[in-house]
Amino acid sequence: MLKVHFAPNSRAGRIIWLLEELKLPYEVNKMAFHPKDLKSDEHRARHPLGRVPVLDDGEVRIFESGAIVEYILERHKNGGLKPEVDSQEYPGYLQWFHYCEGMVMPPINTIIVQTILLPPERKDETALGQAQRLLTKALAPVNAVLEGRDYLIGNFSAADVMLGHSCYMGNRLGCLTEEMSNLKGYVDRISERPAFKTAIEMQ
């Protein structure tokens, strides 16, 4: 059975969401989002940097959330939740699947570090402000592509699992402007999906 090594408020939520959408059986090793768990020798044996998610599938162990999503789709659902390679939707699917880690998550990471992880004496308001502005700019193209669409490529796909999770986080961090009505509606739709609710309830 698939086993997800998980900590709350992390990218591991994407993997739980995907598995719930696909209705695949899995078990969870839930850890605290704290060095005592994530930086333990036991977990560093799974991930050299002590991060999550990590997926165990029999003799296979894999980390990086995007890689895990692709692995699950190919090995366990015959490519479900992704368009055919020769379809019109496939280029957009690839773009938005990877846009989250390339453009959206870097400023989110900085915001979380500056607002949550660092002690007060090490926080940098300039770095925080820059990251907040960068995140808002990075989300603007997502808002644009959602004009007249419920999801990124029309139908729900694994690109929504990747980027939608990041948009949800961006909304929680207050970086969606009032003008981003498409994106706000998108986050609302995602939040109502039963599989997403199950993943968030683990937080």
DSSP notation for 135-160 = HHHHHHHHHHHTTT-SBTBBB--HHI
CATH code, domain with 30 = 3.40.30.10
Same domain for 48 and 67: yes
| Same-domain pairing of 45 and 122 | no
Domain match, 157 and 75 both: no
The stretches in the chain having pLDDT less than 70 are none
**Which residues is 61 bridged to in the sheet?**
56
Tell me: do 94 and 185 sit in the same domain. yes
Residues 125 and 191 occupy one common structural domain? yes
In contact, 199 and 17? CB cutoff 8 Å: yes
Q: Please count the other Cβ atoms lying within 10 Å of the Cβ belonging to residue 122.
A: 9
CATH number at residue 176: 1.20.1050.10
H helix or E strand, kind and range, residue 61: strand 60-63
Domain carrying residue 45? 2-81
Pairing type for strands 2-6 and 60-63 reads: unpaired
Same domain, yes or no: 62 and 149: no
Please, where are the H alpha helices in the chain?
12-22, 35-38, 41-44, 65-76, 90-99, 105-112, 125-145, 158-159, 165-172, 181-191, 194-201
Give pLDDT, residue 117.
87
CA angle 154, 150, 196 (to 5 degrees): 105
Do both 127 and 62 map to the same domain? no
Residue 6: phi and psi, rounded to 5, are -135, 145
- For residue 79, the model assigns a pLDDT of 81
Same domain, yes or no: 37 and 119: no
Q: What is the pLDDT of residue 72?
A: 97
What pLDDT does 203 receive? 76
- Quote the number of domains for the chain: 2
- What was the pLDDT predicted at 121? 96
Instruction: State residue 134's pLDDT score.
Output: 95
Q: Clarify whether residues 64 and 135 are in a common domain.
A: no
Task: Decide if 6 contacts 28 (C-beta within 8 A).
Answer: yes
66 and 143, same domain (yes or no)? no
Determine the Cα angle at 25 with ends 80 and 79, to 5°: 15
**The pLDDT value given to residue 166:** 96
